[in-house]
Structure 1
Amino acid sequence: MTTINLTFLGTSSAQPSATRNHQCIALRLDGDIWLFDAGEASQHQLQRSQLRMGKIEKVFVTHMHGDHCFGLPPLLCTMTNSNPSASNEAPKPPIEIFGPSTLRRWLRSTLKLTRSTLGRQYTVHELLLPTDPIDSGDPTDPDNPLHHNEILGRNILIDTANNAWSVLTTDKWSVIAAPIVHSIPSLGYVLTEHPIPGKIDIVTIQPLLARNKDALLREQGVKNPMALLRTVQSGKDLHLPDGTVVLAPKPRPGRRIVILGDTSDPSLIAPHARDADLVVHEATNAKTFLDPPELTYEEAERNAISHGHSTPQMAGRWARGVNARRLVLTHFSARYKGDDGGEEGAQGEGPRVMEEIRRLAVETFGEERDGEVFCARDFWSVDVPRT
């Protein structure tokens, strides 16, 4: 069974605070780590966590605001510091980075101008709209040659019929991205696990195998009939000597995870996010007890939208609209302190304001799902179990 776990390494919005770093989410898939955004000081957060930088294989950038990407160049330098070519290790494949237009050129320029050398190659795949410029990476172009550790990545054009990019497909997962509304081009990512084998009814099958034990040994040389359960589990019907057919269980849908960048309206990604097991949605602004009493919830929402952001109520409403099972809020204003108690203790301002924000999201997500709404804090982890 694939273990899926998200660790939030940074949960602040534009400015970091004493309790929250810039945006960075680590998704653990078995032994690998896929990183979503890398705000400033992400490498420090990784060093303080239980995660290993060397396990990072892919990085997905949602948009080009600094609080989501300024930490990427130093992180690449640190995480590739161990050079396999200087040891007996086999060279690792390039680190794959996905993101919007200009990400490739910005990262290339930053690494070149700082004379940075990596211990591992990297490649940047850009998700392009029809109007975006295409970076050819022509090595003969004196104005834009590749970095010496860079392999030219793919230019992935949006499928305008579906308003989405097909980002990648592995043996277990498919990833798509779609544009979401923000003050600059921003992306949301949807990760969908391939269908998994259905559950076997061993109580029903075991007597059938026992009844055919002698015939299986005589006709097929099968000494242990229970080993044939693998055939059924793999999705193939099992035909027994006495004519009984054991039907393979229907595959079950895999898990689905939605990770949104900054947004005031993620409606374009909604068709791809249906029945998500987990939605990560920003909640930058909210009306709480920290605000003047005369500020209304409607005004707070208008203020958030005017800057391309969301309130907890907007996040809850959208997550309910796609029938998500669980909602995690992140990207909080720096004025909302971390909720780990801190100097003010368990009953301090931080825990109080975060619980108020969480409850605002519950109001629109659904009171019956109160236990499935969370406010992320730095270094907090959440598992995504199979249903």
Structure 2
Amino acid sequence: MTMDLTFLGTGSAYPSPHRGASAMVLRTEGECWLFDCGEGTQTQLMKSQLRSSRITNVFISHLHGDHLFGLPGLLCTVSLNLNPSPVQPPTCVNIYGPRGLRQFLRVALQLTSSQLVFPYAVHELESTTDQCPPEGHLSPEVTADSGCLHSQELPGRTIALDVSSDCYVLLEDKRFVVKAFRLFHRVPSFGFSVQEHDRPGRLKTELLKELGLKPGPLYGRLKAGESVTLETGQVVNPIEVLEKATPGRKVCVLGDCSSLLGEGPLGACHRADVLVHEATLSDEHRDKAVDHGHSTPSMAAAVALACSARSLVLYHFSQRYKPAGQHKEGDEDDVSELRRQAEEALQGTDIKVSLAEDFLTIPIPLARPH
């Protein structure tokens, strides 16, 4: 199963001619999962090789406009370009994010009389009081659920923090477990961990033949982890006839933050194949970055090191940092300096550092079996 991550917007605060606002897509098995949706994301999608109609899950890290303003427009454009089949009803788009997201989207769609041809559901995460300064929390009057659903809206869940793991379990199926965890920012912010399940190893077919087991349904049961009993009465356990499992991949995307909260982030991001972390300003501007709830390259590197991540991708750059191809001699702010600072902080480790640019696609290959 192929998996890759495409950045649609890598700038902070607002879209510019050089960088789009925050948005990225994790693509796997024909599905597209969108992380944040800043203003102009739908245009960026049109310029990419991705298909917006394949978006099935959306994850919004926090309610600042440069991570959210593009969502109502994107949903409307996807709807306009869809031709639903009467035989196969359209898939529900599940949207995850902080409390207040449901009301924001509902009001935006209702006030503009926007109709969708597919259902959607908003699942809200309950933040904690320590995720931001007191003034960053929205009042209950603003986030209160009006109870008047949009015509295509399905009831969503309200997801509380699981105290035992210090995370929010968003979804779990046969392929993935997706969790959210708490970050500190000027408003409640979250990070997301997408963990692929390990793949069972290949069957040792020669050994199975020696045991007198022919290809058929019993092979499938062993592959699925079930023990089988032969006609002789011998019990064959999967561990005896399966090669080593292929480890599942893990991709972690952190929203805007100046620090992690609790033990959840480190646990959820442990041994991440790809850790995406903001680096809004360079290390020289650390005080300013922290004052605004943001991080620098060395701060992002510290998180990657604490998580034992395999690779660190920096993004969410101040618009002062132009993409490498547009940087001119004499320009004061060089985006490559951000990578150098992170690499310096990770010197002596095997963690690879890269800079995200709009339309950069990072393939995420399967790891070798343990």
Q: Report the TM-score when normalising by structure 1.
A: 0.82
Equivalent position SS for 2:80: coil
Q: Which residue of 1 aligns with 2:281?
A: 285
Larger Rg: 1
Asked whether 1:57 is paired with 2:56, we answer yes
Other-structure match for 1:27: 26
Q: Contact conserved, 1:233 with 1:249, CA < 8 A, in 2?
A: no
Residue 348 of structure 1: how far off its partner (Å) = 8.4
How far residue 366 of structure 1 moved from its aligned partner, in angstroms, is 3.3
Cα pair 1:124 1:152 within 8 Å, conserved: yes
Q: Which residue of 2 aligns with 1:378?
A: 358
User: 1:316 maps to what in 2?
Assistant: 301
Q: Answer whether contact 2:202 2:242 (CA < 8 A) is retained.
A: no
Are positions 1:264 and 2:252 aligned together? Answer: no
Partner of 1:193: 196
* Compared CA separation, residues 81 and 49, structure 1 to 2 (3 A): same
1:221-260 aligned at under 5 Å gives the runs: 222=214, 233-236=223-226, 246-260=240-254
Identify the residue that residue 287 of structure 2 maps to in structure 1.
302
Residue 192 of structure 1 and its aligned partner are, at CA, apart by 0.9
Name the residue aligned to 1:75. Answer: 74
> 1:184 matched to which residue of 2?
187
Which residue in the other structure is 2:133 paired with?
A: none
Q: How does 1:32-181 map to 2 (within 5 A)?
A: 32-84=31-83, 88=86, 90-129=88-127, 133=140, 135-138=144-147, 145-181=148-184
- Are the aligned partners of 2:60 and 2:98 in contact in 1 as well (CA < 8 Å)? yes
Instruction: Tell me the CA shift for residue 234 of structure 1.
Output: 3.7
Structure 1: tracts of 5 or more residues without a match: 139-144, 288-296
User: Which structure 2 residues correspond to residues 355-370 of structure 1 after superposition, within 5 A?
Assistant: 355-369=336-350
CA distance in 1 between counterparts of 2:365 and 2:330 reads: 32
1:238·1:247 contact (CA, 8 Å) conserved in 2? no
Residue 269 of structure 2 corresponds to: 273
In structure 2, C-alpha distance between the alignment counterparts of 1:280 and 1:39, rounded to whole Å: 17
Q: Secondary structure, in 3 states, of the residue corresponding to 1:6?
A: strand
Shift of 1:209: 5.2
For residues 137-184 of structure 1, the C-alpha deviation after alignment (integer angstroms, 9 at most, x for no partner) is 53xxxxxx2112211211111223433211111221011111101111
Provide the secondary structure at the position in 2 that maps to 1:305.
helix
Taking structure 1 as reference, are residues 164 and 244 closer, same or farther at Cα in structure 2, changes over 3 Å only?
A: closer
Moved more, 31-40 or 191-200: 191-200
Cα distance between partner residues in 2 of 1:231 and 1:163 = 35
**Is the CA contact (8 Å cut-off) linking 1:63 and 1:261 kept in structure 2?**
yes
Q: Which moved more, 1:98-107 or 1:249-258?
A: 249-258
Residue 157 of structure 2: SS of its match in structure 1? strand
Which amino acid in 2 is paired with 1:151?
A: L
- SS at 2:155 equivalent: strand
What's the CA shift string for 1:304-329, capped at 9, x where partnerless?
A: 11110000011011101110001100
Q: Secondary structure at the match of 2:62?
A: coil
Secondary structure at 2:276 match in 1:
strand
RMSD, aligned CA: 2.8
Residue 236 of structure 1 deviates from its aligned partner by 4.8
Amino acid at match of 1:279: L
Q: Is the CA contact 1:235–1:251 (under 8 Å) kept in the aligned structure 2?
A: no
Query: Are positions 1:329 and 2:314 aligned together?
Result: yes
C-alpha deviation, 1:105, in angstroms: 0.3
Q: State the Cα deviation string for residues 99-129 of structure 1 (Å, max 9, x = none).
A: 0010000111111111111121211110113
Are 2:93 and 2:121, in contact at CA under 8 Å, matched by a contact in 1?
Answer: yes
Residue 335 (structure 1) shift: 0.5
Q: What is the Cα deviation at residue 89 of structure 1?
A: 5.2
Contact kept? 1:84, 1:92, Cα under 8 Å: no
Amino acid at match of 2:312: L
Q: State the match for 1:17 in structure 2.
A: 16
- Asked if the contact 1:232/1:249 (under 8 Å) is kept, the reply is no
Counterpart Cα distance in 2 of 1:317 and 1:130: 24
Task: Give 1:231 deviation, angstroms.
Answer: 5.7
2: CA distance, partners of 1:121 / 1:284: 35
Aligned-pair identity in percent equals 39
Answer whether contact 2:37 2:69 (CA < 8 A) is retained.
yes
TM-score calculated relative to the size of structure 2? 0.85
- 1:146 aligned partner, one-letter code: L
What SS class does the counterpart of residue 156 from structure 2 fall into?
A: strand
Say if 1:77 and 1:102 are closer, same or farther in 2 by CA, change over 3 A.
same
Number of residue pairs aligned between Structure 1 and Structure 2? 350
- Kindly state the Cα deviation for residue 263 of structure 1 after the two structures are TM-superposed: 0.5
